[in-house]
């Protein structure tokens, strides 16, 4: 029994090395040519002051030095960004983000002075253009402190699978400025999109998802989740029920995984993919499911 258990453990470790969260987009502001990389930093409040948004470090009187969360520079806004009416309206807009898939996750880091009236940020998404009027707000939150610290915010991009989007972070404050009550300091850094796959992803149920894209030509992606270590078999069948390819037959740790099928050597038409899962733990759990997909040349 000890030998079998050791063998299973070795298999789990071996196969887990091939799966991790894939970084699809990352910006750490190592250089200031951000517009050349598709970024837009917009001053929408009409303030006349020319204040550099990027800094390499910032020193707080009571808490000391703030360095970038990652990279060389970070974005810093404060009361001096206010216009004459006490409004701050600063936008940080990403380049167009393409080829999004289910379970993609967007994250960025931020922080603020943690006084009684903490500064706020908005997060918005556009599926059309990058003008401010194109964006729809998905979150508005008080930024955590204290001074000199960074906090990660993350968002599920699954609703935008198959779409191209822009993401904006908006520093919008009223009664702001040096004499205002609501603004102080806020800082922003390290934007990233990664696909949430691998053994580090927590899942609670067995699940086989519909392939994407569907219909497809010639490749498609199949996603499955398992809540415990198990042997996973995924087999492709044609419309007559004939097996055409065994896509997966391996041991996996608990997590969410994606596998691709390239049907370039097959005829157009309907195909079925079946998953069969047998637990490698003492639970004795098993799971099967079948879904249809359409290959169109």
pLDDT in tens, 111-127: 998 766 678 899 999 99
Host H or E run for residue 263? none
Residue range 22-195 forms a domain whose CATH class is mainly beta
Lookup result for tokens 């949430």: 196
Contacts of 79 (CB under 8 A, 6+ apart): 88, 176, 177, 178, 180, 183, 184, 185
User: What six digits make up the tokens of 171?
Assistant: 């520093």
pTM for the predicted model, two decimal places: 0.73
Lookup result for tokens 């955590």: 144
pLDDT in tens, 38-93: 999 999 988 765 567 999 998 877 767 899 999 999 999 987 778 888 888 999 99
Look at residues 93, 107, 70, 101 and name the one whose alpha carbon lies nearest to residue 193. 107
Are domains 2-18+199-295 and 22-195 of this chain identical in fold? no
Look at residues 128, 149, 209, 160 and name the one whose alpha carbon lies nearest to residue 24. 160
Residue 10 has pLDDT above 60, yes or no: no
pLDDT in tens, 176-209: 666 566 667 899 999 999 988 888 788 999 999 9
The CATH code for residues 2-18+199-295 is 2.60.40.2550
- Tell me the C-alpha to C-alpha distance, in Å, between residue 9 and each of 53, 116, 281: 50, 51, 11
Helix, strand, coil tally for the chain in percent (to 5): 10, 45, 45
Q: What distance in Å separates the CA atoms of residue 48 and residue 18, rounded to the nearest whole number?
A: 52
Domain ranges (residues) in the chain: 2-18+199-295, 22-195
């Amino acid at each position: 029994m000890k030998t079998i258990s050791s063998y299973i453990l070795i298999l789990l470790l071996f196969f887990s090395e091939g799966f991790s969260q894939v970084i699809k987009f990352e910006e750490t502001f190592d250089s200031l040519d951000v517009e050349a990389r598709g970024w837009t930093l917009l001053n929408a409040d009409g303030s006349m002051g020319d204040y550099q948004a990027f800094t390499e470090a910032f020193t707080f009187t009571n808490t000391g030095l703030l360095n970038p969360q990652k990279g060389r520079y970070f974005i810093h806004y404060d009361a001096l960004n206010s216009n004459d009416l006490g409004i701050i309206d600063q936008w940080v807009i990403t380049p167009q983000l393409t080829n999004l898939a289910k379970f993609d996750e967007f994250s960025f880091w931020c922080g603020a002075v943690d006084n009684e009236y903490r500064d706020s940020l908005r997060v918005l998404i556009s599926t059309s253009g990058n003008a401010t009027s194109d964006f729809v707000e998905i979150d508005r939150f008080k930024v955590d402190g204290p001074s000199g610290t960074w906090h990660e915010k993350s968002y599920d991009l699954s609703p935008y699978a198959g779409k191209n989007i822009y993401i904006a972070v908006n520093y919008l404050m009223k009664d702001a400025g040096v004499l205002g009550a609501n603004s102080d300091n806020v800082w922003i850094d390290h934007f990233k999109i990664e696909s949430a796959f691998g053994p580090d992803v927590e899942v609670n149920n067995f699940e086989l998802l519909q392939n994407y894209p569907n219909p497809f030509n010639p490749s498609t992606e199949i996603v499955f989740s398992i809540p415990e270590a198990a042997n996973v078999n995924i087999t492709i069948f044609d419309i007559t029920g004939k097996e055409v390819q065994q896509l997966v037959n391996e041991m996996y740790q608990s997590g969410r995984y994606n596998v691709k099928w390239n049907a370039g050597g097959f005829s157009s038409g309907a195909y079925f993919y079946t998953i069969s899962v047998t637990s490698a733990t003492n639970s004795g759990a098993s799971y099967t499911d079948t879904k249809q997909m359409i290959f169109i040349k």
